[in-house]
Amino acid sequence: MTAQDLVEPQSVQSPTPWWSRLVAGLFLLILGSALAAQLWLARAADLANAEQMVQSMAVAIAQNIGGSVRSVDSLLVDMAVSVAEGSWEDPANRLRFEGRLSAFPELLWVGVTGMDGMVSGYPVPAFSGAPWRASASHRDYFRVFAGGDPAGGNGGRLHVGLPAIGQITGERTIHLSRAILKDSKVIGIMVAAVSADYYAGQLGITLLDSDGASAVLRSDGLMMARAPAHAEKFGINISSSDLFTKWLPREKQGVVRLISKADGNDKLLSYQQLDRYPLVVTSGVSLQKALTTWNRMMVVEVTGFILFSGAVIYWASMSDLRNGAILRHRETLKQAVAEQTADLERAKSLAERRAEDITSLNLKLSRLAQVTAHDLQEPVRRMVSFSQLLRRRLHQLSEEAEADLRYIEDGGKRLKMTLEGFRQYTELLGGTPVFEGVPLRDCVELALEPLREAIAAGGGEVRIGSLPSVPADRSFLTLAIARLIDNAWRYRDTERPARITISGGQDDTGWWLAIEDNGQGLPTVMDQWILNPVAVSQGPGERSGMGLAFCQAVAEIHGGHLEAERLPEGTRFILRGHFPDIS
């Protein structure tokens, strides 16, 4: 299209040059506002989802760590009572505690610290051995209870010690301790050394984001366990962070956005202080991680909006010029469409007439073939009958005359069978199959009925396996099976008892029926033309040549084919069909 083609003629009323661009601008303004609102709502939704996620994870961590601390606390209470009652060294008591300790993978050792500052420790779970001894006078839990006050300097609750490196194990350790009371006096301290690395491993399992981190802290801000960077952050003090100076004093649990004191990341942090113990658990996700999906969506949508805006503006700029050309060609297009429609209607009408002519011609040809096959039966019948009558009238026949009469009779019979087979073949090709659920066994039994006496009298045997029900035309299928069974019996080997085996099956795509015999087998010369309608085998029991062609046509009607397999003794014919497509 040239620039002259874009100029509208004076007779055509075109919109003003700014109208399309004005409409495009209003459209882009509305679309941009909707996009901004959608992005804002999507960002708020992603943040809300991230808050729910970290809050749920913080609750899970609090339940996990809190449950562990409660279990250790309960164990320390029972052990402290045992020491106070003097049954601590009892072997049965030791055995009971050893069984309980097997359920505490987080424990490194448990022990009794005397008021002299010496601790007798037992590794977990090997509790029944000899204890090791070491000084604990420098530990904070000893200083808390050393005064002998039953309250223990902490209100009689479990004491959570400072994060420390164990002097015996060399591992990062959290000491949980309780006073051993007797007559309302502190006579010792029951201590359990908890592996901080174990808690860090548990946090790592629930870690949402490496930049967000999860942690267990003492209520004074000391880091007890963390994932990731547990070894690096163990024991640091973050009491000056917003979490401890601003948020925890207000609420014992919540979700906040802050800059982490531990790693400097901007994150959403869910925190929860344990009810009975001076511990705080946190679970966080970085803001970048929480908004990853939103950031990608924003880049895609904003980029798409920019590109779309450019395309719309370009379209609006060219719209006025294109409208003129469109108006000029409108009538031409209408006329062309009308002509095309008329041509299509004529072509459709011609195709329908030709289809009707072809259908009528096929019906006439089919009827002609059937009538021809039927009408030729009479002269063939007369030829055979008069040949037989001539034999009866001429009592003394020479061998040559007898052979000639037999040749005429055999030819007439074969021609009669050929005509009958041709008639049935044309009926099959011109008929309309009726598909229904047909048990193959019923078809086999019906096809066998005319041959049962002959097979039994000849010493033959028919074996019928398990056969399915398939969608098929009962009449056509029964006729095809009858021809295959008749072939198997007719071409039997006279040197051995005839055996006919019938089997079948189905899968996702179709079904099959196999008829196997131990007869004469297939001649090699028949491989290429055995299924042709004109194929006639020679020898005893010659037929019309239409039987296997009829079976092949039946298989094709059912969407399949007929297979012939040569066996070491005999032949196997397999009639295959497919399930009809009901889509």
Q: Where are the domains of the chain?
A: 49-290, 433-578
pLDDT at residue 2, rounded to an integer: 46
Mean pLDDT of 444-452: 89
Average pLDDT, whole number, for the chain?
82
- State the pLDDT at residue 431: 63
Instruction: Report which of 221, 76, 196 is spatially closest to residue 145, judged by C-alpha positions.
Output: 76
Q: What is the pLDDT of residue 538?
A: 46
Contacts with 72 (C-beta within 8 Å, 6 or more apart), sequence order: 104, 106, 107, 176, 192, 194
Which pLDDT tens digit goes with each residue over 320-379?
A: 777 667 767 777 888 888 888 888 888 888 888 887 777 666 666 666 565 665 566 567
CA atoms within 13 A on the CB side of 304: 8
- pLDDT above 90 for 67: yes
Query: Who wins on pLDDT, 422 or 514?
Result: 514
Cα–Cα dist 231/172, whole Å:
8
More confident residue, 531 or 60: 60
Task: In whole angstroms, give the CA distance from residue 515 to residue 498.
Answer: 13
Structure tokens at 10: 């004076």
- What average pLDDT does this structure show over 376-396? 67
pLDDT at 407 over 60: yes
Class of domain 49-290: alpha beta
* pLDDT of 386 over the 50 cut: yes
Which class for 183: exposed (0-12), middle (13-18), buried (19 or more C-beta within 10 A)? exposed
Report pLDDT for 423: 62
Residue 274 · residue 281 · CB < 8 Å: yes
What's the confidence (pLDDT) of residue 184? 82
Residue 582 has pLDDT above 80, yes or no: no
* Alpha carbon distance, N-terminus to C-terminus of the chain: 47
Mean pLDDT along residues 524-548 = 52
Half-sphere exposure of 124 (CA within 13 A, CB side): 21
> What are the pLDDT digits (tens) for 302-325?
999 999 999 988 888 888 777 667
Structure confidence at residue 185 (pLDDT): 87
Find out whether 94 and 126 touch, Cβ atoms under 8 Å.
no
**Which DSSP state fits 137?**
T
79-107 mean pLDDT = 87
Rounded mean pLDDT of 269-273? 93
Task: Give the three-state DSSP class for 148.
Answer: coil
Name the residue with tokens 């289809």: 355
Lowest mean pLDDT, pick from 198-202, 398-402, 485-489: 398-402
Note the pLDDT of residue 530. 54
How far apart are the C-alpha atoms of 576 and 578, rounded to whole Å?
7
Does the structure show a pLDDT above 70 at 137?
Answer: yes
pLDDT tens digit sequence for 213-265: 899 999 999 999 999 989 999 999 999 998 999 999 999 999 998 888 777 88
pLDDT surpassing 60 at residue 149: no
Return the closest-CA partner of residue 284 out of 219, 216, 201, 235: 216
Determine the topology of domain 433-578 in CATH.
Answer: Heat Shock Protein 90 (3.30.565)
The rounded percent of the chain whose pLDDT value lies above 90 is 31
Using the structure block, give the residue that is written with the tokens 């007719």: 490
The per-residue pLDDT for range 453-508, each reduced to its tens digit, is 888 888 889 999 999 999 998 888 898 898 899 888 988 888 889 899 999 999 88
